[in-house]
Amino acid sequence: MNADFALEIHVHREDLLRIARLQLRDDDVAEDVVQETLLAAMQGQANFEGRAKLKTWLIGILKFRIVDALRQRRRDPIPASALQQETNIEDLEALFDQEGMWRAKPSTWSQAPAEIEQQDFMQVMELCLTRLPPLTARVFMLREMFGMDSEEVCGLIAITRNHLGVLLYRARMSLRRCLEIHWFQAARGQSDAVV
Amino acid sequence: MLSCKGSSRLLSDALDRELDLSEQTSLDQHLEICPACRDCKDQFARLIGMVSRLVDGELTPRKAPTENR
């Protein structure tokens, strides 16, 4: 086993752990999944061809491990109360007036954060993802971070297409609002935010 | 006439499934006259890139909604 390669891999441990935690919302399972990922990476070093970035390759492995962990959890169905709560969008309706018009209109977002702000932006993004309810965060990340299609996500989490649509709507509406308040408006020095 | 509330939901759905003709038409008509919903559409699209950047890698390319049916 190559000690240098082990070191290179471990540099990314914290990043992998953060993604796994956001996705699984369970520190122990996240630790296990990352441990398995690092082990698999060590054993599969020959498969790493150096063309992809190391981190990208590791995240590819992590994705399979997370999906596996979620598949195992399918045996414990999602509590009906959680699904009911997160698919009830009454709270989102408060963003609109009685005519269904925006109370606080979305703004035009400025260009992508400059290189120097990247780190700060990612912290805000992470904060916003953390604020999403667990099931909502999970389906959003499977869809947008791991690029799974709707059928796959529904099959994995055992929810209907309709529920998936509502959860993704919740995720997008909450994230856009959170980023608007904590990044884009903050950057402009505005404080007219209505949470 | 589609409201902003209805429009925001369709904007989200359109990222995951193909809208039917009447949905698409009413959404297009609404976007034509509503700058706020055009901003919302742009924001939803930007979220995708932002989340991908969080993992800093070229992950699985996102599949087009038409492939999801």
User: Would you say residue B40 lies in a domain?
Assistant: yes
- Domain, as residue range, for B36: 4-58
Put simply, the answer to whether B51 touches A125 (Cβ < 8 Å) is: yes
Give the rounded percent of residues in chain A with a pLDDT score beyond 90: 52
Between A and B, how many residue pairs show a Cβ–Cβ distance under 8 A?
116
Most confident listed range (A177-181, B19-23, B56-60): B19-23
Closest C-alpha among B10, B18, B11, B65 to residue B42: B11
With 90 as the cut, is the pLDDT of residue A117 above it?
no
With b meaning 16 or more CB within 10 Å and e meaning fewer, what string describes B25-43?
Answer: ebbeebbeebebbbbbbeb
Confidence of residue B50 (pLDDT cuts 50, 70, 90): confident
Question: Rounded to whole angstroms, how far apart are CA atoms A134 and A156?
Answer: 15
For residue A173, the chain B residues in CB contact (below 8 A) are 8, 12
Contact of B17 with chain A, judged by CB distance below 8 Å, is answered with: yes
For A133: left if phi > 0, alpha if psi spans -120 to 50, otherwise beta; the answer is beta
Confidence of residue A180 (pLDDT cuts 50, 70, 90): very high
Domains of chain A: 1-76 (1.10.1740.10), 78-195 (1.10.10.10)
User: Would you say residue B67 lies in a domain?
Assistant: no
Question: Rounded to whole angstroms, how far apart are CA atoms A36 and A139?
Answer: 22
Determine the average pLDDT of the residues in B29-45.
96
For residue B49, the chain A residues in CB contact (below 8 A) are 112
Inter-CA distances, A152 with A157, A192, B15, Å: 9, 40, 15
How far, in whole angstroms, is CA A192 from its chain's centroid?
27
Interface of B with A in 32-51 (CB under 8 A): 36-37, 39-40, 42-44, 46-51
Note the pLDDT of residue A193.
44
Determine the average pLDDT of the residues in A72-91.
83
Question: Rounded to whole angstroms, how far apart are CA atoms A148 and A86?
Answer: 21
Note the pLDDT of residue B39.
96
Q: Encoding tokens for residue A67?
A: 């999906």
**Over the stretch A14-37, which tens digit does the pLDDT of each residue have?**
989 999 999 898 899 999 999 999
Note the pLDDT of residue A75.
63
Min CA distance, B51 vs chain A (Å)?
A: 6
**Over the stretch A22-79, which tens digit does the pLDDT of each residue have?**
989 889 999 999 999 999 999 988 888 776 788 888 988 999 999 999 888 776 667 7
User: Would you say residue B10 lies in a domain?
Assistant: yes
With 80 as the cut, is the pLDDT of residue A137 above it?
yes
Determine the average pLDDT of the residues in A119-140.
90
Across the interface, which of A52, A59, A109 has its CB nearest the CB of B43? Answer: A109
Inter-CA distances, A122 with A171, A188, B35, B42, Å: 17, 18, 28, 19
With 80 as the cut, is the pLDDT of residue A1 above it?
no
Confidence of residue B1 (pLDDT cuts 50, 70, 90): confident
User: Would you say residue B68 lies in a domain?
Assistant: no
Residue with tokens 């045996």: A75
A44 by Cβ neighbours in 10 Å (0-12 / 13-18 / 19+) ranks as exposed
Contact of B68 with chain A, judged by CB distance below 8 Å, is answered with: yes
Domains: count for chain B:
1
Note the pLDDT of residue B61.
39
